[in-house]
Chain A
Amino acid sequence: MDTEESRTEENRAGDAERRKPAISLDRLSSRYRLEFEELSTEFHGKCPVAWNDTHGGYWFTSGHKELFDLARRADVLSNDFDVEGVRRGYQGISIPSPTGERRFRGGFLEMDPPEQRYYRQALNPYLSPAAVQGWKPVIEEITRACLDEKIESGRIDFVDDLANIVPAVLTLALLGMPLKDWDVYCEPIHAMVYTPMDSPLYERVRELQMTMGVHMMETINGIRNNPRPGLIDELVTCEINGYRPDDMEIFGVLLLLIGGGFDTTTALTAHSLEWLSEHPDQRERLSRERETLLDSATEEFLRFYTPAQGDGRTISQDCVINGTEFKEGDRLWLSWAMANRDEKVFEDPHTIHLDRKGNRHNSFGLGIHRCIGSNVARATFKIMLTQVLDRMPDFVCDPAGAVHYDTTGVINGMKHLPATFTPGKRLGAGLDETIAKMQRVCDEQRLAEPVTVRKARAKLDD
């Protein structure tokens, strides 16, 4: 036997030895969705870090403390997606790894520092709490218009008519894209998440994606030639560790910003409204005591539903953490969702307590890649929620019409959530007219400038 081979043999024996305890959980199966609570409890007790032998094998972290100790170790973890195979061949943050045309780098989420840090420094001033403050009147106005479209009918689909639209329009505003084009992005971005490549619907999703891709490229070029404020302008002018990102790299970042913000905020809003419909007494309490309860309720919905269920990493150097022996190249899954149900940190973890204290949830991630859009997400969610509570206080969701994603191993999302309520009166213009007006406000007041340039809140009436 030559030495090469015997070493491989040895490695294999070593791997079998250290890859313990072993579990077998296909996160894309219905078992993950249906037995989520039982599985969480079982793993927390038995194997907070386990070797999951599905999808090529990877470490699965479900314990809150274990996740905390791992997720912040940027020194031994990599997010890199080396699509061309020119670095170490790492596969980025998706497990299983993307195949075929889905193999492209997901912006700075699939980069490591220093490049990733340059991107965050460039984009933070557009998305910080102070920056988001300026956008609130616009978010309120778009939400108002969405509800006005349905308020007289007594029927709404909270996903299609509200939670899909507001985040989409706002994201385009932040980017500096024409607001009226929100529907170019809305359907393909959501459908991309829940339509598997072997679905008969995939062809249509692909076509929508192509249209979206062309629109993105045209906008990047358009803003390069005719600058207008926003995240895209920053991307075409910024310097990342001494280089100017090319069009493909900007494309990836743009898709990350759009994809990162749509489906997650929609998922949070839909699930929360569904729960409030099932708990009318809690809904009344939340509405009545919103002054003290809205913040903690928002964090609790984030914890409980964890819209982005987890993210992958690659171990970038051999290390031992809390007794687990990791080897360079091993894949790792950080289950934000299961860590959020760890009974060692959250009392009564599988129940929603709107006034939960010390809610150290991981729904926006941990460490250097922590969600850069969390302030946008919270503001959008709170505005949508409070306007629904004010204008449709007796809404009842229709369980027969509610459609949850088949697989929730990546995004815990919803496709539809129809509801009925006592009809009310319109307060203002419809959606198209409102979007046109918001476009003028964005342009005239240069709302999409970073907070370092512009601090004032949007003014809607002149």
Chain B
Amino acid sequence: MQVRVDSDLCQGHTLCAMAAPDLFALRDEDGHAYAPDENVPAAQEERAQEAARSCPERAVQLS
């Protein structure tokens, strides 16, 4: 599984990082999210899905 944050959609709600702190980092200046490593370890897949479900802007993309 791969995870991406669509930076055009992300508004920095930070809910993705709450759901999966190991998969997302928040930029210091504005709290917008990015995935430092797009490859999701198998053990983190459930959390990645929870992050995608929690994002109010639907900016977390899984593939």
Contacts and interface: CB of A to CB of B under 8 A. Distances in A.
B56 A360 contact: yes
B20 to A, nearest CB: 12
B62 interface: no
Given A295-B18, A368-B11, A374-B13, A357 B30 contact: no
* Chain A CB within 10 A, most for which of B15, B28, B57: B28
A359 B14 CA distance: 12
B55 interface: yes
Contacts, number: 64
A455 B50 CA distance: 30
Contacts of A120: 30
Contacts of A128: 12, 26-31
A358 B18 CA distance: 11
A370 B26 CA distance: 16
Contacts of A360: 15, 53-56
Nearest to B28: A130
A59 interface: no
A414 to B, nearest CB: 25
Interface residues of A, number: 28
B53 A362 contact: no
B2 to A, nearest CB: 20
Contacts of A299: 15, 18
A367 B11 contact: yes
B54 A359 contact: yes
Contacts of B14: 129, 374-375
A374 B12 CA distance: 9
Contacts of B31: 124, 128-130, 375
A6 interface: no
A358 B53 contact: yes
Please classify how large the interface on chain B is, using the bins under 10, 10 to 19, 20 to 34, 35 or more: 10 to 19
Contacts of A130: 26, 28-29, 31
Given A125-B30, A129-B31, A451-B29, A370 B53 contact: no
A361 interface: yes
A150 interface: no
A68 B28 CA distance: 27
A19 interface: no
Interface in B28-49: 28-31
Residue of B11, B14, B57, B58 contacting most chain A CB atoms (<10 Å): B11
A375 B57 CA distance: 17
A72 interface: yes
B12 to A, nearest CB: 7
B27 A366 contact: no
Given A295-B18, A358-B50, A375-B14, A366 B57 contact: yes
A125 B54 CA distance: 24
B28 A452 contact: yes
Interface string A120-151: 11001100111100000000000000000000
Interface string B1-31: 0000000000111110010000000111111
Interface in A60-88: 68, 72
Interface in A351-385: 357-362, 364, 366-368, 370, 374-375
A129 B11 contact: no
Contacts of B55: 360
A368 to B, nearest CB: 7
A362 B29 contact: no
A130 B12 CA distance: 12
Interface of A: 68, 72, 120-121, 124-125, 128-131, 295, 299, 357-362, 364, 366-368, 370, 374-375, 451-452, 455
Given A128-B26, A360-B54, A366-B56, 4 more contacts: A128-B28, A130-B26, A359-B15, A452-B28
15 contacts: A125-B30, A128-B27, A130-B26, A130-B28, A131-B28, A299-B15, A360-B15, A360-B53, A360-B56, A362-B56, A366-B11, A366-B57, A375-B31, A452-B29, A455-B28
